[in-house]
Chains A and B, each alone.
Chain A
Amino acid sequence: MHSAEGEVVRRRLLRKKNLDLKFMGQYFKDIWEGIWTVLVGMKITWSHLFTPAVTIQYPDVKLKLPERARNRLYVNMDDCIGCDQCSMACPVDCITIETLKSTPDVDLGLTSVGTKKRLYVTRFDIDIAKCCYCGLCVPPCPTECIKMTDVYEFSEYERNNLIYKYATMTPAEIDAAKAKLLAYEKAEAEKKAAKHVAPQPNS
């Protein structure tokens, strides 16, 4: 006959045995799962081995840039009227413009949009190293002469080479224009003074 105590011990042992079997099962299951998941991973990498690469070999192959890509600035000096609006719009002050008034006898011509040019542009420097490619200089331009191109390869060995000088006038031309302006202003001032002085005795 089984005693009650014996029954309890027997049941406890059975439970322990079941638990051990469960752990044992888990052990083999883990190993199997380990091997299986490794094989699954290997299958994935194997398939990628034959997937065409997504690499674009840059200097040999170049991606087409978006239509409105903003890269190196370009100024068409034929159209520039020296209004300084691009320079004022620039948040990093990378555009420096100096102008000189022309005398009435000189015709500087028209821009392509029909604006009359009145100023000599003696200096138009863009420090492209400073440029942040925001494009804010482009919309204010009344003659649409400053624009962002799609050129992006312009590294230089010298930092100074990154200051682009767009002004077309030679120093000699600038000096001549300056002298002419001075002479004109002097003549104007004299004329004005003479006009101003002449009526005096009558009053």
Chain B
Amino acid sequence: MKEFLINLLQNDILAYALMAFVPLAWIVPFALFAVWWERKISAHMQDRLGPMRTGGWHGWAQTIADILKLIQKEDIIPSAADRLLFTLAPFVVFVGSYAAFAAIPFSAAYIGSEVNVGLFYVISISSLVVIGLLMAGWASNNKWSLFGAMRSAAQIVSYEIPIALALLAVVMVVGSFDLQEINRAQSGFFWNWFVFQKFPLLFLAAIIYFVASLAEVNRTPFDIPEAESELVAGYHTEYGGMKFALFFLAEYANMFAVSAIASTVFFGGWNSPFGDFLSGPWWGAFWFISKGMTFIFVHMWLRWTLPRLRVDQLMYVGWKVLIPFSFVIVIGIGFWLMVVR
């Protein structure tokens, strides 16, 4: 796709800029759609209907109306806040989550940058979000915000480890950090996907990754940084208008990023489940996005099923369950590879 754009536009910079905008063209509509979807799912799981009026059919335009409202809102910065950090924080958060999309392969033909440390890059760049969250919490000069930010930092730092280890298990099998390489290693039918390989080690790794990624994006049952019932809204308590919208966009972008990684690493990414049937660049994007959306649906499903964990329970799950298990998986995969090869 890069070569095609460069040939088409005869201009490298323009072509790269266009390449960089492709994920944004997906994320923004996705975030709008996902907010609406989440509201509908939450409503139906509670035997309600959710938004039904705006836009006619099942309130599909509700989030568009919401974002228009947020754009028109006054941009309030609390007088006691640190103006620079306060303004910067939502951008840092969004940049952190958007930068991860640079190495995510949307299809066989499209990947922002096919670097050989792709997975490594995604793991490390998405940690940048923590800085933004801490920034927001600190700059707000509000106890709830700071609590939320500290919790979020503690949580993300703890859950990076099982995430990295679970992904490492797959990296050991493939022998590459390159996400396209990982995709290609799973081509063929769905039983070639890594969840079903080296059973049950990689299956457990997928579960560990999924649980830890929920914590990574601060979703229920690990939403203690936002904890509406305890911390008002956590780190974005003081934010309103477009800045708040940016936090929201970053949250949904992050959700899609972790789901995309899950589908790429464990569920075959853009590979069709049926071998060569329905495969190709466009079908690849379709499969990739639908796998990602499935995980997002499970995120939402869990959100409306489980209550929030306590801080100590969260740490228990992270340090005493996920990390030992992921170590066992990494060691097990190591032995497996050693014995088989």
A binds B: yes
Q: Are A55's CB and B44's CB within 8 A?
A: no
- Please pick, from A31, A49, A57, the residue contacting B45 in the complex, using a CB distance under 8 A: A49
B24 at the interface (CB under 8 A from A): no
In the assembled complex, how far is the CB of residue A42 from the closest CB belonging to chain B, in whole angstroms?
Answer: 5
Task: Give Cα A193 to B321, complex, Å.
Answer: 110
Q: Does B41 contact A (CB under 8 A)?
A: yes
8 Å CB contacts to B: which residues of A45-67?
Answer: 45-46, 48-55, 57
Residues from chain B with Cβ under 8 Å of A38 in the complex: 302, 305-306
Shortest beta-carbon distance, A53 to chain B, in Å? 5
Report if A41 contacts B (CB, 8 A): yes
B45 x A42 contact (CB < 8 A):
no
In the complex, whether B52 has a CB less than 8 A from a CB of chain A is yes
Q: What CA separation (Å) do A44 and B43 show in the bound complex?
A: 14
Say if the beta carbon of B46 comes within 8 Å of chain A.
yes
Q: Which residues of A contact B46 (CB under 8 A)?
A: 48
Q: Is B3 interfacial (CB 8 A cutoff)?
A: no
* B28-43 contact mask (Cβ, 8 Å, vs A): 1 or 0: 0000000000000101
The CA-CA distance from A44 to B321 in the complex, in Å, is 26
State whether B302 touches A42 (Cβ < 8 A). yes
Residues of A within 8 A of B306 (CB): 38, 41
A41 and B45 CA atoms in complex are apart in Å by: 11
Q: Specify which of B47, B48, B302 lies most central, judged by the most chain A CB atoms within 10 Å of its CB.
A: B47
A4-24 at interface with B (beta carbon < 8 Å):
none
Cβ–Cβ < 8 Å partners of B48 in chain A = 53-55
Tell me which of B45, B49, B302, B321 contacts A48 (CB under 8 A): B45
Residue of A nearest to B53 (CB): A57
| Closest beta carbon of chain A to B45's beta carbon, Å | 5
Interface size counted on chain A using CB atoms at 8 A: 16
Distance between Cα atoms of A38 and B321 in the complex (Å)? 16
Residues of the A chain whose Cβ atoms lie less than 8 Å from the Cβ of B301: 42, 45-46
B203 at the interface (CB under 8 A from A): no
**Given contact pairs A31-B321, A57-B52, A45 touches B304 in the complex (Cβ within 8 A):** yes
Enumerate chain A residues within 8 angstroms of B41, measured Cβ to Cβ. 49
A-B interface pairs (CB < 8 A), number: 38
Q: How far is the CB of A79 from chain B (nearest CB, A)?
A: 43
Residues of A within 8 A of B45 (CB): 45, 48-49
- Residue of B with least CB distance to A43: B305
Q: Chain A's nearest CB lies how many Å from the CB of B309?
A: 11
Q: A44–B44 Cα gap in the complex (Å)?
A: 12
When chains A and B are docked, how far (Å) is the Cα of A49 from the Cα of B301? 10
Chain A residues whose C-beta falls within 8 Å of the C-beta of B321 in the assembled complex? 31
Q: How far is the CA of A50 from the CA of B321 in the complex (A)?
A: 34
Minimum distance in angstroms from B117 CB to a CB of chain A? 33
Distance (whole angstroms) from the CB of B29 to the closest CB of chain A: 24
CA distance A54 to B47 in the complex (A): 6
Determine the distance from Cα of A87 to Cα of B304 in the docked complex, in whole angstroms.
Answer: 53
In angstroms, how far is the closest chain A Cβ from the Cβ of B161? 18
B47 and A45 within 8 A (CB)? no
- A45: chain B residues at CB < 8 Å are 45, 301, 304-305
Q: Establish whether residues A53 and B43, one from each chain, have CB atoms under 8 Å apart when the complex forms.
A: yes
User: Contact at A51–B304, with CB atoms within 8 Å?
Assistant: no
List B contacts of A42 (CB < 8 A).
Answer: 301-302, 305
**CB-contact partner of B305 in A31, A44, A51, A57, under 8 A:** A44
A49 engages B44 (CB within 8 Å): yes
Distance between A34 CB and nearest chain B CB, rounded to angstroms: 8
User: Chain B contacts of A51 at CB under 8 A?
Assistant: 44, 47
The smallest C-beta distance from A29 to any residue of chain B, in angstroms, reads 12
Contact code string B281-302 (vs A, CB < 8 Å = 1, else 0) = 0000000000000000000011
B11 to chain A, nearest CB (A): 49
Q: Identify the 4 closest CB pairs spanning chains A and B, nearest first.
A: A55-B49, A41-B305, A45-B305, A53-B49
Instruction: Please name 17 further chain A to chain B contacts, defined as beta carbons within 8 Å, in addition to the given A49-B45, A53-B47, sorted by A numbering.
Output: A31-B321, A41-B305, A42-B301, A42-B305, A45-B45, A45-B301, A45-B304, A48-B44, A48-B45, A48-B46, A51-B44, A52-B47, A54-B47, A54-B48, A55-B47, A55-B49, A57-B52
20 residue pairs of the A-B complex, CB under 8 angstroms, read A31-B321, A41-B305, A42-B301, A42-B305, A45-B45, A45-B301, A45-B305, A48-B44, A48-B45, A49-B44, A49-B45, A50-B44, A51-B44, A53-B43, A53-B48, A53-B49, A54-B47, A55-B48, A55-B49, A57-B49
